[in-house]
Structure 1
Amino acid sequence: MSLDPDFAILLRASADRLFFLLEKFASARVLVIGDLTLDEFLTGQVERISREAPVLILRHETTKQVPGGGANAIYNFAQLGAKVLAVGLLGKDEQGKALRSLLEAAGINTDGVFVDSSRPTVTKTRISGHSRQSVTQQIVRLDRKSDDLPDLDLQVQISQYIKEQINSVDAVVCSDYGDGTLTQPVISAALSASRTIVDAQKHLERYRRGTLFTPNLPEAEFAVGYAITDEPTLTQAGQDLLALTQAQHILITRGEQGMSMFNREGSAFHIPAFNRTKVFDVTGAGDTVVAALTLGLTVGASAWEAAVLGNLAASIVVRRFGTTTTTPEEMRVALQRLLEEG
């Protein structure tokens, strides 16, 4: 895909600076509070229809477990080279053990991950099947979760841990998937940081005065209460979200239309999607945007530079199936290719 000529000129002028910022990602230290989820992928070959019920019988072939939800956000930071302090809750179950192991294997500090024995680890199990001559496709998803909030003592423990660590990190990130980790005491602790990035699906007003919010288009529409259908409504939404959140920046991610940043000072800019014709799977892409964007800001990027880095990272992961991540090296290669093609 060819970039808009004016944007291509701006990107080329900023190339050296963007490469420099990517080199500095490894110096960043972040604390990420999230609704930790284990994503499971079970696949098998269809053998026959069951005689017990009109359902498929699969012969199991593979099981894959990866960090999902807020854990995917945490994992993205680690894969991009940052030093990461993970904060969240796991159940006292095998899924919780598996997820903690995945995070620790990536070099992530899990001292802030507490066990909630009254609630299960949030787990999303996707079961997929195929025949000998067909592609694999998802058949059903099974979710394990609780609608109950964690006990107050756990909320206090999480809040206290955040307060103890807050001066040792460059940024605090809230990855709120609505599963109960980010209660008001936890949010209040997070907002005491000098730089708090908020990625929440709903109730953005709970994070009022966070530094930067990153809603996608449906989340932004839900927050403002009207459809965003053209440039005037997009501009209005940006202004309304700034008023609602009292944030310094609002970044609305818009899928194949790219992303739009609105600042408290009244300025705004738009960044086109870098591979609009090749978008494959947007699962987890928002987490990747948040990670690359936040790391850019922590190492000295301007809002525009940070947004470009977030967009660049997302352009890589949307070409892959399922929850996935990228690395600074892949981003460097993608940026170089973009400069050559632009």
Structure 2
Amino acid sequence: MVEAAFLEHLRAIAPRLNALMDRFTEARVMVAGDLTLDEFLTGQVERLSREAPVLILRHEETRQIPGGGANAVYNLAKLGAQVKAVGLVGKDEQGAVLRRIFEAAGIDTGGILLDGDRPTVTKTRISGHARQSVTQQIVRVDRKSDAPADPDLQLALADYIRQHLNTVDAVVCSDYGDGVLSAPVIEAALQHSLCVVDTQIDLHRFAGATVFTPNLPEAEKAVGYGITGGDSRSAPSGNRLAQAGADLLRLTRAQHMLITRGEEGMSLFSQDGSQHHVPAFNRTDVFDVTGAGDTVVAALTLGLIVGATPVEAAILGNLAASIVVRQFGTATTSVAEMKAALRSLVEASK
């Protein structure tokens, strides 16, 4: 359950949050990121193979949806924003599928370049079920290259970003470690006055960005010590979470650091020394956290663009994430769903 005091606060600011969400369609966002195609292949288990001790599935369905940095792009579009996608895809069917999905959603794909040397990052999850049983994932197959992108492509991406900085209200960097966020691309993205960074590795590469959104393991890796439990000697104040927030702000020179903490909610730290903790809005109906961080980034960014305070923007991000974790696989939400979730929380405070 969400704390009663916070529910009362949420009830008080609900009209403003609804007004902010109504303005999401005004926002223009560029996302530079590692574009991934998520495939979900499902089937019914028929028998064991005679060739090897493996299951034979009769194929039922294959779903293909944006994943990785492409999920951040898609979340922003589904929330009503005008979005430019910047990244690389291979000269393959998976890249073509991703572009078609984006174009159908009204996303500008002019910044997506073809990489003839590397495949489109594709993650295929194969799941099976027997009769009258739940579907369970059996194996995941990843298609990707660890080789860096061609230097000319890196420069071309950076040039595209610089040419379009004045046409967007914010730049989001969605870094899954697949090579798009190279030094030239990062340098170009950081030139925007509102740069939101979601990176799994090496936060210091984006030093000077406006907001970072690491999850708890990413934050711990960046500061080099555990944030919860155990020995607290690494934080002189005794509050390692607060110490980590301060250390991350120094490391990145960011204005704000939002640490997402799963069922413990979110913690926002700012350069002015302020700290705010937002409790999780949904702790019981959590089925899959895949891509929830991208949803947080999308709603947070749109909130900042349309005039939310950093705390209000974090609440919007938390609200959006509380919806997508109820769904299996990479998912998105909408303003209508966010308003309905907010209404349910407000009613719970009465």
State the TM-score, normalized to the length of structure 1.
0.98
**Are 1:256 and 2:263 counterparts?**
yes
Instruction: Give the equivalent residue in structure 1 for 2:185.
Output: 186
1:278 positional shift: 2.0
Q: Residue 120 of structure 1 aligns to a residue in which SS?
A: coil
Letter in 2 for 1:36: L
Instruction: Give the equivalent residue in structure 1 for 2:4.
Output: 5
Letter in 1 for 2:148: L
Please list, as runs of the form range in 1=range in 2, the aligned pairs for 1:3-152 lying within 5 A after superposition.
3-152=2-151
**Are 1:308 and 2:315 counterparts?**
yes
Cα distance in 1, alignment partners of residues 228 and 50 from structure 2: 50
Summarize deviations over 1:254-291 as a string: whole Å, max 9, x none. Answer: 00000000000100000000111222211100000000
1:9 positional shift: 2.2
Question: Percentage identity across aligned positions?
Answer: 67
Summarize deviations over 1:100-153 as a string: whole Å, max 9, x none. Answer: 111111110000000000000000001111111321111111000000111111
Cα distance in 1, alignment partners of residues 88 and 55 from structure 2: 35
Letter in 2 for 1:247: A
Instruction: Give the equivalent residue in structure 1 for 2:210.
Output: 211
Please list, as runs of the form range in 1=range in 2, the aligned pairs for 1:174-253 lying within 5 A after superposition.
174-229=173-228, 232-253=239-260
Summarize deviations over 1:169-206 as a string: whole Å, max 9, x none. Answer: 00000000000000000000000001100000010000
Q: Residue 300 of structure 2 aligns to a residue in which SS?
A: helix
Q: Residue 239 of structure 2 aligns to a residue in which SS?
A: helix
Letter in 1 for 2:211: L
Instruction: Give the equivalent residue in structure 2 for 1:325.
Output: 332
Pick one of 335, 340, 345 that aligns with 1:338.
Answer: 345
Q: Residue 31 of structure 1 contacts residue 173 of structure 1 at CA under 8 Å; is this kept in 2? A: yes
Cα distance in 2, alignment partners of residues 336 and 248 from structure 1: 31
Letter in 2 for 1:316: I
Instruction: Give the equivalent residue in structure 2 for 1:289.
Output: 296
Instruction: Give the equivalent residue in structure 2 for 1:172.
Output: 171
Summarize deviations over 1:88-111 as a string: whole Å, max 9, x none. Answer: 000000111011111111110000
Q: Residue 256 of structure 1 contacts residue 279 of structure 1 at CA under 8 Å; is this kept in 2? A: no
1:34 positional shift: 0.8
Q: Residue 140 of structure 2 aligns to a residue in which SS?
A: strand
**Deviant stretches of 4+, over 4 Å:** none
Summarize deviations over 1:296-325 as a string: whole Å, max 9, x none. Answer: 000000011100100000010111111000
1:50 positional shift: 1.0
Q: Residue 281 of structure 1 contacts residue 319 of structure 1 at CA under 8 Å; is this kept in 2? A: yes
State the TM-score, normalized to the length of structure 2.
0.96
Cα distance in 1, alignment partners of residues 45 and 273 from structure 2: 57
Q: Residue 91 of structure 1 contacts residue 117 of structure 1 at CA under 8 Å; is this kept in 2? A: yes
Cα distance in 1, alignment partners of residues 104 and 249 from structure 2: 38
1:48 positional shift: 1.2
Q: Residue 276 of structure 1 aligns to a residue in which SS?
A: coil
Summarize deviations over 1:49-83 as a string: whole Å, max 9, x none. Answer: 11111111111111110000000000000000000
Task: Flag structure 2 segments of 5+ consecutive residues without an equivalent.
Answer: 230-237
Q: Residue 272 of structure 2 aligns to a residue in which SS?
A: coil
